[in-house]
A and B are shown apart, each in its own frame.
Chain A
Amino acid sequence: MRMLFKLPSMLLLTLLMGCNMSGCGMAGTEPFVDAEKDEQGNLRLLDTPRMWQNWTENVDFRVSNEVAGRRPPGGKSTWNDFWLRLIDENREARENAQKYINYIIEKRQEAGLPPLESYPE
């Protein structure tokens, strides 16, 4: 009986303490991405170690899929279309966007894949 209340209480206590001390407050967020708003109020993803790690994991996974001959995600007809779309989405959405875009180009090159058509425009 005591254990039943102990476990949820422990969970509640630690989460509340963590949230309170993080400054996220009771109406804040638990950010799953590092982002900031610019002067115009537009959100932008920040260039932080975890954002970079997530990016490299996802690009590596997709490059390996392209090498393996799997179809591109998102219903795109070719991998070229998919990469161009990804690059386009990240141009404005990220801090240091060129660093992220260059990673795609380099990893594809390392994997022996052909250069992207229509990039750079």
Chain B
Amino acid sequence: MPQAWSRPENRPLSRRMHREKCRPLVRLASGAPVFANGAVTAAMAYAFSSAARSSQPKGEWIFPEGGSMDMNDYDTVMTNGILGDRDQFVLAVNAEQIPGYFNPSSGALGDIFESIGQKFFGWAGDSLAAGFSQGLAGVDHPMRIIAHSQGTLTVANAAKYYGLPQGSTLIMRSPAISRWRANSAANAIGGSMQYVQPYGDIANIYAPSLNPVRWMSGFRDVFCGACTHTANGLP
């Protein structure tokens, strides 16, 4: 079995990254994104931001076996969605010679809870996005960033709240975010975006669009067991 090289996330944070990691607290304290039901929202936001701050970045950067471990030597990276399988991810990293940010699974419910936190409270702190951004912090050229499903939440939050290489191309496959939000993430880094959301993908339900037919088509995937969604995954 081929093994990949992985880099532990033990580098100290740069001043910029540290400021960015602390931003959620500041924003929460300032009360900026509080809704009418402020108490509940703030409580949930606090829970997500605490989880994000209290732990090391959850994801793991994996590099192709025998390849460079300097991110500047690559032009493409990828990240997976929920219920990730590390062996499959390592195989993909080696077969494509593309480094990847592996998002380990905490079980279906844990992953779904995490996704909800990233989707609705990403501004309050997102440890996956922080780790993703940290891995690309020293890159001096635009990257091609491929993300699937929950990975699109990680990438969008990384772009908006933590920073990614300027001018990068975000390839969002079966995104769990709307086209507007994906565009907004790409704009935040002065980059471009490919939104790959097939009709009939379950992700249409929770990545709302103004097209009701597209939204409704997502329910078809519920009955085939998210077959369209999983068939649109990462290399």
Contacts and interface: CB of A to CB of B under 8 A. Distances in A.
B233 A26 contact: no
Nearest to B176: A11
A119 B36 CA distance: 66
Interface in B179-235: 202, 205-206, 218, 221-227, 229-235
Contact of B225 (A4, A23, A32, A70): A23
Interface in A2-31: 4, 7-8, 10-12, 14-19, 21-24, 26-31
A1 B83 contact: no
A50 interface: yes
Contacts of B70: 75
B66 A4 contact: no
A61 B89 CA distance: 21
A45 interface: yes
Contacts of A8: 116, 120
A30 B83 contact: yes
B149 interface: yes
Given A55-B235, A73-B76, A4 B223 contact: no
B92 A18 contact: no
A45 B92 contact: yes
Nearest to A9: B116
A32 B76 contact: no
A18 B201 CA distance: 10
Nearest to B231: A50
B225 A18 contact: yes
A7 B120 contact: yes
Contacts of A70: 75
Contacts of A23: 225
B68 interface: yes
Given A73-B97, A85-B66, A30 B230 contact: yes
24 contacts: A1-B37, A1-B40, A4-B40, A8-B116, A11-B119, A12-B116, A15-B82, A15-B206, A18-B221, A21-B223, A29-B105, A30-B226, A30-B230, A31-B230, A32-B233, A35-B88, A43-B91, A45-B92, A50-B233, A54-B235, A74-B73, A75-B70, A86-B97, A93-B2
Interface of B: 1-2, 35-37, 40-41, 64-68, 70, 73-76, 80-85, 87-89, 91-92, 94-98, 105, 107-109, 112, 115-116, 119-120, 144, 148-149, 202, 205-206, 218, 221-227, 229-235
Closest 5 CB pairs of A and B: A75-B68, A22-B225, A32-B233, A54-B235, A18-B226
